[in-house]
Structure 1
């Protein structure tokens, strides 16, 4: 637990550095493009259009889901998914990409996954604005359930950080891990429910078992939590067993990731 305490303390003590580096990375990524940071919004918007044509008008045939238009239902899930997937992959590669710079400067390596997560907030805020406009136009009105958005947002950040500190360490030790993680993310796209209603799958042998396994997916928990919030379906404590399992996974990931990070970070440069 001392490793966890030290890693968390390093995040709190270096919040200013995290913000400054993340802003620099945002500008550096798109500085050679004519539209600059507009691509952080334009790129996901194009993907959303494609997904809506394929899954909304094609597979779902324009039918509503949970009493709202498919585009709104999908936007709630896809907004969270874009932020989660980009943060997982970015955090995984964060130490490997920047460890040379860190070795010459005085700040802890453990903040690099947080830097990457922070740099993705610009795109996330733009997508959230688009989602709010779509819900307003679609007749989705605010309710008390919207207050639990903050809970699920904390859940999302806790998962991304705990998983990021683990992934970033393993990526330095085993370079092939990042490539494998990219494939896993592609699979999770279809197993986390951002674009199709998993609970409405047709009946087949073993469906209930498969559904229960999918519901243990932390990303599924977060995405469905945001839908529970914005569509006023239920409170997070009504997902009792899923909530307990989610936080158990977070604790395990954080302990394991912090331990591996502290054990090997003095030799990161040697591994690279």
Structure 2
């Protein structure tokens, strides 16, 4: 618990630096591209088009009890996945890639995964605004349920940071962790309710629904979808699942903070 409090204090005290470095990270990662930061929108657009064609036309056209069109259903859930995927991959390798910065700047190592994740948050906001416009044009008008989105945004940022504290520490010690994480995220794309509707499972597959809900990204995707499609107050209607989600974040953060604080003095020995 002491390690967790230490990391929290570091995030609060150096939050101004997190914002500055996250903006620099976005610019530096796109500075060699002609289209620059437009690629932060182009890449998701290409992937969404592929998934829509394969799963929307090739496998199903309608999902859910009311027979909703597949495209808005998928779009409202997948919008958060790009931040999850890129945020975790980049944050997990951030310490061993950027530790040399510590020789030029004086800030704690726990800030490194934080600002890398935050650098993915700005493109997410832009993509989210674009998705809102598209959904509004398709008949899913802006509703009062949108006001719960900041709560879910904070939740996904907290979850990503808690996981990245663990993975960035382990990836610095054992580089194979990064490859394992890439494979795991590919698998989680299909184990989250992004491309197929879990509610269409029969009663004989209830065990599979419960198993999939263990995945905290399930909560994130469904909460975004419920908000953007104006279907209800997910964190209230699924209050037990909300408590589970918060509990997972707390446990992962305590474990990650303990690992990070324990090994960060020795990170340079593994480089």
TM-score range, shorter chain: over 0.9
CA deviations 1:141-160 (Å, max 9, x no partner) are 23332221122112111111
CA deviations 1:7-54 (Å, max 9, x no partner) are 111111112211221122211112111111111111111111111111
Query: Does structure 2 retain, via aligned residues, the 8 Å contact 1:113–1:161?
Result: yes
Query: Does structure 1 retain, via aligned residues, the 8 Å contact 2:136–2:142?
Result: no
Structure 1 residue runs of 4+, over 3 Å off?
64-68
- Quote the Cα distance in structure 1 between the aligned partners of 2:145 and 2:46: 30
CA deviations 1:169-190 (Å, max 9, x no partner) are 1111221111101100000000
Residue 216 of structure 2 corresponds to 218
Residue 250 of structure 2 corresponds to 251
- Quote the Cα distance in structure 2 between the aligned partners of 1:105 and 1:13: 15
- Structure 1 range deviating more: 167-176 or 226-235: 226-235
- Alpha-carbon deviation of 1:243? 1.4
TM-score of the aligned structures, taking structure 1 as reference length:
0.94
CA RMSD of aligned residues (A): 1.6
- Quote the Cα distance in structure 2 between the aligned partners of 1:183 and 1:253: 20
Query: Does structure 1 retain, via aligned residues, the 8 Å contact 2:165–2:256?
Result: yes
Residue 196 of structure 1 corresponds to 196
- Quote the Cα distance in structure 2 between the aligned partners of 1:125 and 1:248: 26
- Quote the Cα distance in structure 2 between the aligned partners of 1:66 and 1:90: 37
Residue 265 of structure 2 corresponds to 266
- Identify unmatched segments of 5+ residues in structure 2: none
Residue 52 of structure 2 corresponds to 52
Query: Does structure 2 retain, via aligned residues, the 8 Å contact 1:95–1:112?
Result: yes
Q: How does 1:134-153 map to 2 (within 5 A)?
A: 134-153=134-153
TM-score of the aligned structures, taking structure 2 as reference length:
0.94
Give the 3 Å change call, closer, same or farther, for CA 237–204 of structure 1 in structure 2: closer
Query: Does structure 2 retain, via aligned residues, the 8 Å contact 1:72–1:131?
Result: no
- Identify unmatched segments of 5+ residues in structure 1: none
